[in-house]
Amino acid sequence: MAKLRYYDASEKAPEPLPKVVAHTEFLRTGRIDRRRNTPEQRRYLSYEEVAEKTGRRLVAAGEATHKRINSFHTSIKFPKMIFHRTLAASPHLGYCHVTAATTRLARSSEVTWSFYFANFFSEFGDETHFFDRIQTGYSRMYFAVAIEPDAGEGRMVINRNVRGNGLIFRTQDPKVALKNVLMLGARDEALRRIIRAL
Handedness of CA 11, 13, 17, 20 (dihedral sign): negative
Q: State mean pLDDT over 101-120.
A: 83
Mean pLDDT, rounded, of the chain: 79
What's the pLDDT at 110?
A: 81
* Residues in a beta bridge with 144: 115, 169
Confidence of residue 153 (pLDDT cuts 50, 70, 90): confident
- Give the three-state DSSP class for 122: strand
- Contact between 84 and 96 under an 8 Å Cβ cutoff? The reply is yes
* pLDDT at residue 111 greater than cutoff 70: yes
| CA 89 to mean position of chain CA atoms | 17
- Contact between 97 and 83 under an 8 Å Cβ cutoff? The reply is yes
Query: Residue 99 and residue 184: Cα distance in Å, rounded?
Result: 12
Domain ranges of the chain: 46-196
Confidence of residue 56 (pLDDT cuts 50, 70, 90): very high
Of 96 and 164, the one with more pLDDT: 96
Query: Residue 15 and residue 30: Cα distance in Å, rounded?
Result: 20
Q: What Cα–Cα distance (Å) separates residue 99 from each residue in 45, 50, 129?
A: 31, 25, 22
